[in-house]
Amino acid sequence: MTPLANSAALFFTVALLMVTAYFFLGSVPLLVLKHDDPVDAKFIRSFYNTYYQIAFIVALGTTLSYAFSARPLFAVGAAVIMVLAWVLRGKFIPKMDALGTQIQAHDTVSIPVFRKMHKTAILINLAQLVAIVGSLGAY
């Protein structure tokens, strides 16, 4: 446990908190969109694709910094967020692409499915945010 490793862990924890909070706060207002326009679907898909990529990178840094600062439980927690970002990007983004195509083809059934997926992504993001904030007291 070096001071540098501890500083890196603090930096990456704050970065992970900021990224998660920023994208949570940015995603909730997007619910006002009707999701019936292909541009809406494309924007939301791009928004989440960006979030998952950034969250993965920051969570990787968080995981490594906790590992080097001898905090294995925190390292595991950050690794869970990292894996979750990877898995969700692999599952949600292709599904959002497909639904966006269906919306463009005026398939009205796909609109509530896309909206539900958007709400699910928000709830998962909220759970991550709560977990990160909850872990700060134990740091």
One DSSP character per residue, 35-79 reads S-SHHHHHHHHHHHHHHHHHHHHHHHHHHHHHHHTT-HHHHHHHH
Convert the pLDDT of each residue in 38-72 to its tens digit: 888 899 999 999 999 999 999 999 999 999 999 99
pTM for the model stands at 0.90
Q: Residue 85 has what pLDDT?
A: 96
pLDDT band at 7 (very low <50, low <70, confident <90, very high): very high
**Amino acid sitting at position 117:** M
Query: What mean pLDDT is predicted for residues 99-107?
Result: 90
If one counts every other C-beta atom within 10 angstroms of the C-beta of residue 28, the result is 14
Helix (H, G, I), strand (E, B) or coil at 138: coil
Query: What mean pLDDT is predicted for residues 70-83?
Result: 94
% of the chain exceeding 70 in pLDDT: 98
- pLDDT of 95 > 90? The answer is yes
Lowest average pLDDT, out of 13-22, 43-52, 129-138, goes to 129-138
pLDDT band at 21 (very low <50, low <70, confident <90, very high): very high
pLDDT band at 138 (very low <50, low <70, confident <90, very high): low
Mean pLDDT of the chain: 92
Query: What mean pLDDT is predicted for residues 100-114?
Result: 90
Q: Residue 139 has what pLDDT?
A: 58
